[in-house]
Amino acid sequence: MTYFMYKNNLISVYSKFEAEASHTVNLSDERAASVVASIADMKACYELKLKQEKEQQQIEEAASTENNEQQKEEAKTVSSAYATLYIDRIGMEVPIYYGDDSKTLRKGPGQYPGSSLPGEGSQILIAGHNTTHFKPLQNVAVGDIIRVVTGYGEFHHQVISTKIASMNDTSTYNLSLDHEQLVLYTCYPFTGPPGKTQRFFVYADLIN
């Protein structure tokens, strides 16, 4: 039984207690004293149950929060993917790794370590190769929903804009952003030889 169910039940029982108590005036002193004592015992029992249930709920909430924080920290240290990214409209499903060095990007898209993790409320920078995992981004459109599924939660972002800019353009990101935003980027154009100096950026704001 949840805390709120106990609370509602307790209110109902109290009403019954009051009705019982109102009849004690018609009982003998001994019987009245017995009824009053029984009512007091029942009140104490329900109040104890209510307190225990509330404390248990608080313990479970604290444990859940601690577990989420632990999984976030583990995401920064494990070599395996810490999340999966989906853009259903274009059939995109890719693993996300923590780190954006060349070795990591050969396995799949990687997050710049200086950026926030999903759920931390700021900008998330994720890079990927345009010939493999991030190739479908050439078909992304404003309004598309990007789902990021981690071990500690699922986050939905909606594409608000795309941009083509120089690889050296520092205005393309803001690590101090005051709201959560997912930024995916890859080399541009999507065809041609390697060594490109331009990047294609996708910006998506958190919606839930």
- Strand 83-87 and strand 92-98: the pairing is antiparallel
Residue 105's closest CA among 28, 52, 36, 184?
184
3-state secondary structure 69-123: HHHHHHHCCCCCCCEEEEEHHHCEEEEEEECCCHHHHHHCCEECCCCCCCCCCCE
Contact assessment for residue 133 and residue 153, using Cβ atoms and an 8 Å cutoff: no
Task: Please identify every residue annotated as catalytic.
Answer: 129, 187
Task: Report in angstroms the alpha-carbon separations of 153 from 50, 88, 133, 206.
Answer: 30, 18, 23, 13
Give the tokens for residue 58: 């608080």
Task: Report in angstroms the alpha-carbon separations of 123 from 3, 59, 80, 101, 142.
Answer: 37, 31, 22, 19, 18
